[in-house]
Amino acid sequence: MDDLGDIVGSIAAQMSAEADRGRVADYIPALARVSPDHFGIAVVTADGTLHAAGDAQLPFSVQSVSKVFALTLALDRVGDDLWKRVGREPSGSAFNSIVQLESERGIPRNPFINAGAIVVSDALLAGQHAREAIGDLLRFVRFLADDDGVTIDSEVAHSEAGTGFRNFALANYMKAFGNLDNAVEEACKVYFHQCALTMSCCQLAMAGRFLMADGVHPGTGRPVITPERARRINALMLTCGHYDGSGEFAFRVGIPGKSGVGGGILAIVPGKASIAVWSPGLNERGNSKLGSLALEKLAERTGWSVFTA
């Protein structure tokens, strides 16, 4: 393999020159005004080395990438009982789809579609005020990233609430089936703030380190979660992390990854690397177009597909 720093640098240069960059999400102004020209990449390896290129230090809205951190925290809080309320199967549907909730009696297919993430938010609430649960999640992500510069963008959170009719619908539907313990407004408030987490590629790659390290936080050497849970979260990222584009991502890239409509993707190579890429233009499934391409190139050049011997 070539020098990793050279690979990361050359992928960033190649992506910056790409003409076909996909469409930036435009359902809220804070996302619509982000230029599609950005591209950032950060790779933290198991020995703690960080390689970054392009706009790797620029904060962006991580959106659904946050579902990985919320799930981790919720599993730590409520344990495997969470799996009574949310499944572990790919949905094959759009991230905000409601259709499967009817036949599956309010149990979302997995924790990485919106319905599943709202159940996870409800579990994080556990009788607290939304503000406390949001504070817990923010502190947790800051700890994972070893960086107090991680923030929640309140403009994004308010816009999410103002336009979140589908998410309220999902929450109401699940509430009707008895799968939300707290008020719909509280669970959605936690979910909207979690979507508004704002991080750079460097911060995101740092925050993902525990998933490449059997659940151990490299900064403190302490376990964040058990090795078994880290392995299972990675499995869910591979099978469900890109919604109805998860099969295609596994086929092309072969690395567990979680995307968000802000154009970020967190990808984990167990034992080897935690990777974050960001390019705001999305493909037709709502996943970063150039982010996916960059990860495909990185996997090719490093041999990091989990399916490579």
Residues making contact with ligand GLN (CB under 6 A): 63-64, 95-96, 114, 160, 167, 195, 260-261, 286
Judged by CB, which is closer to ligand GLN: 247, or 303? 247
Compute the least distance from the CB of residue 10 to ligand GLN, in Å. 28
Q: Say whether 167 counts as a known binding-site residue.
A: yes
> 3-class secondary structure for the chain?
CCCHHHHHHHHHHHHHCCCCCCEECCCCHHHHCCCCCCCEEEEEECCCCEEEEECCCCCEECHHHHHHHHHHHHHHHHHHHHHHCCCCCCCCCCCCCCHHHHHCCCCCCCCCCHHHHHHHHHHHHCCCCHHHHHHHHHHHHHHHHCCCCCEECHHHHHHHHHHCHHHHHHHHHHHHCCCCCCCHHHHHHHHHHHHCEEECHHHHHHHCHHHHCCCEECCCCEECCCHHHHHHHHHHHHHHCCHHHHHHHHHHCCCCEEECCCCEEEEEECCCEEEEEECCEECCCCCEHHHHHHHHHHHHHHCCCCCCC
Per annotation, catalytic residue among 261, 274, 277, 288: 261
* Position closest to ligand GLN via CB: 64
Question: Is 261 one of the annotated active-site residues of the chain?
Answer: yes
Q: Say whether 173 counts as a known binding-site residue.
A: no
Judged by CB, which is closer to ligand GLN: 7, or 30? 30
Judged by CB, which is closer to ligand GLN: 54, or 241? 241
Compute the least distance from the CB of residue 160 to ligand GLN, in Å. 5
Per annotation, catalytic residue among 43, 243, 253, 259: 243
Per annotation, catalytic residue among 8, 24, 44, 64: 64
Per annotation, catalytic residue among 8, 150, 191, 224: 191
Q: Say whether 191 counts as a known binding-site residue.
A: yes
Give the pair of three-digit tokens for residue 22: 């996909």
Question: Is 27 one of the annotated active-site residues of the chain?
Answer: no
Q: Say whether 34 counts as a known binding-site residue.
A: no
Question: Is 190 one of the annotated active-site residues of the chain?
Answer: no
Per annotation, catalytic residue among 62, 67, 224, 274: 67
Question: Is 64 one of the annotated active-site residues of the chain?
Answer: yes
Q: Say whether 269 counts as a known binding-site residue.
A: no
Compute the least distance from the CB of residue 194 to ligand GLN, in Å. 9
Question: Is 191 one of the annotated active-site residues of the chain?
Answer: yes
Check if the beta carbon of residue 158 is closer than 8 Å to that of residue 232. Answer: no
Compute the least distance from the CB of residue 87 to ligand GLN, in Å. 18
Compute the least distance from the CB of residue 51 to ligand GLN, in Å. 26
Q: Which residues are catalytic?
A: 64, 67, 191, 243, 261
Show binding-site residues for substrate.
Answer: 64, 114, 160, 167, 191, 243, 261
